[in-house]
Structure 1
Amino acid sequence: MTDNHTTHDAATASTTPSAPTPKITLVTGANRGLGKEAALNLAAAGQDLLLTYRSHAEEIEAVLGEVRGLGRTAVAFRLDTTEFGAFPAFAAEVRAALGEHWGRDTFDHLLNNAGSAAMAPVAETTEAQLDSMYEVHFKGPYLLTQALLPLLADNGRVLNVSTGLTRFTQSDAAPYASMKGAVEVFTRYLAKELGPRGIAVNAIAPGATATDFGGGDLRDNEAVRQGLASVTAMGHVGYPGDIGAAVASLLADGTRWITGQRIEASGGMLL
């Protein structure tokens, strides 16, 4: 009987499935706002993380603590996405971290999230504002994605952050929204180029969301929130967690057949 019992245990052990290898997502601008919420939602969904921040190291340390509290592995890097010459060295850092922490040389998903706002009507936009928006929202993500493509696993994902303001307009959003429009075109071209590798590429376009973006007026000004809520089907402005949850959904296995798309997450704003 002892021999039979031992054989049964061995057979059971040999057929027990091993734990799935976690997906690894690189999130830029992950120390606050939408990037932070995306990171936390991805961690809650079982993904490990490579996180970047430009400043406020104390904020990224807090995010790392929360992610690790969810049982996930996370590594943070300082990166200014307008320091284009630093991208090759950053890619080397990422490769080294992948080997050290995961025994891999690729990651699965790239979320191009880092951004800032320069708001002005066309007639008042300065050359400096236009250059800033170009560098932060288009040139930076374009060249960073290019530098990281050799590290992006086949059958992975790229998700670029756009804005609802490429569909509807407001008087002071021209420089910002125009560059996000370019991001949406870039998304389609990249989806076509990476399709043979099984990599899906999409853009998520948040609507009005209560964060500190652009000075935090939408987060802090009740009158502004109420005005926008009145033109939103869901009856309120978005919250960072709404966008974080949408990001996690778009980087889940079940959406692998969606590519080259602009997905708006606005609660039905200005329908």
Structure 2
Amino acid sequence: MTESSTRIALVTGASRGLGRSAALKLAEKGVDLILTYKDNEAKAQEVLEQIGKLGRRAVALRLDMADSKGFEAFAQRVESALSETWRRDRFDYLVNNAGAGVQASFAETTEDQFDLLVDIHLKGTFFLTQKLLPLIEDGGRIVNTSSGLARFTFPGYAAYAAMKGGVEVLTRYMAKELGPRGIAVNTIAPGAIETDFGGGVVRDNAQVNAQIASVTTLGRVGLPDDVGGAVAALLSDGNSWVTGQRIEVSGGMML
């Protein structure tokens, strides 16, 4: 495969959890990666090593999704990485995955908690994508990350779910406005997954895990590779005609 024909994906928050799984699943399909991490560079390096073992090239760049003022400088680092590693000036796929959770009742959610979620999930997705637009290939793809919680409700996630609802609306607008460039934009909405999200409660609390499994049509809690595999499939050639869609990956949770 030549430099120009190699597909390159930028996956935010790829040092762990769903982002890590998506990056590795994409590498398995022959895609090269630009990964972002916030604090844990060592974990990001581990993912780079795994991608290398799959025969793909990857670089890791630090990014704080809550700091939109740093996005322009980040875009410049992406541009440099593309030039130095691939001798290209654009990449093909953007996966807006990085996020953070806050569990607090509606009555007890603070403004600081709310603002952090806005900055990371809604403002971050909006303005990071905006800054990266000149670096995305015409005919490329964008996958934003929502949550099953934008469809069903669990107490304690009002603010988080509201941000994800905003991401779903934003996705449709992005799909409409980027359509003339042939860029498809969709949303992946995971259900409850066994990761360290929210302190790892779904993974580590047997009672919570069993309760979620009991309301999931396929009878278990999701795993990171369930979502990572779906992201990679959505970015495959066979899905190039899908845009503006919300695709829930929850095993039929709360149907």
Scaled by the length of structure 2, the TM-score of the pair is 0.98
The residue correspondences of 1:128-167 to structure 2 (distance < 5 A) are 128-167=112-151
For these two proteins, the number of residue pairs brought into alignment is 255
User: What's the Cα RMSD here?
Assistant: 1.2
Rg (Cα) greater in structure: 1
Aligned-partner residue type, residue 191 of structure 2: G
Q: Unpaired segments of 5 or more residues in structure 2?
A: none
Tell me which of 222, 226, 229 is aligned to 1:238: 222
Aligned-partner residue type, residue 199 of structure 1: I
Give the aligned partner of residue 54 of structure 1: 38
Give the aligned partner of residue 96 of structure 2: 112
The residue correspondences of 1:19-98 to structure 2 (distance < 5 A) are 21-98=5-82
Corresponding position: 1:175 with 2:164: no
Q: Relative to structure 1, is the Cα distance of residues 232 and 84 closer, same or farther in structure 2, using a 3 angstrom cutoff?
A: same
Alpha-carbon shift at residue 19 of structure 1 (Å): 9.2
Aligned-partner residue type, residue 152 of structure 2: F
Give the aligned partner of residue 268 of structure 1: 252
Alpha-carbon shift at residue 99 of structure 1 (Å): 1.1
Q: SS in structure 2 opposite 1:254?
A: helix
Alpha-carbon shift at residue 122 of structure 1 (Å): 1.3
Q: Unpaired segments of 5 or more residues in structure 1?
A: 1-16
Give the aligned partner of residue 13 of structure 1: none
Scaled by the length of structure 1, the TM-score of the pair is 0.92
% same residue: 57
Q: Relative to structure 1, is the Cα distance of residues 18 and 64 closer, same or farther in structure 2, using a 3 angstrom cutoff?
A: closer
Q: Following the alignment from structure 1 to structure 2, what is the Cα–Cα distance between the partners of residues 149 and 195? A: 13
Q: Following the alignment from structure 1 to structure 2, what is the Cα–Cα distance between the partners of residues 63 and 42? A: 12
Alpha-carbon shift at residue 265 of structure 1 (Å): 0.1
Q: Following the alignment from structure 1 to structure 2, what is the Cα–Cα distance between the partners of residues 191 and 18? A: 29
Alpha-carbon shift at residue 18 of structure 1 (Å): 7.0
Q: Relative to structure 1, is the Cα distance of residues 26 and 19 closer, same or farther in structure 2, using a 3 angstrom cutoff?
A: closer
Corresponding position: 1:196 with 2:180: yes
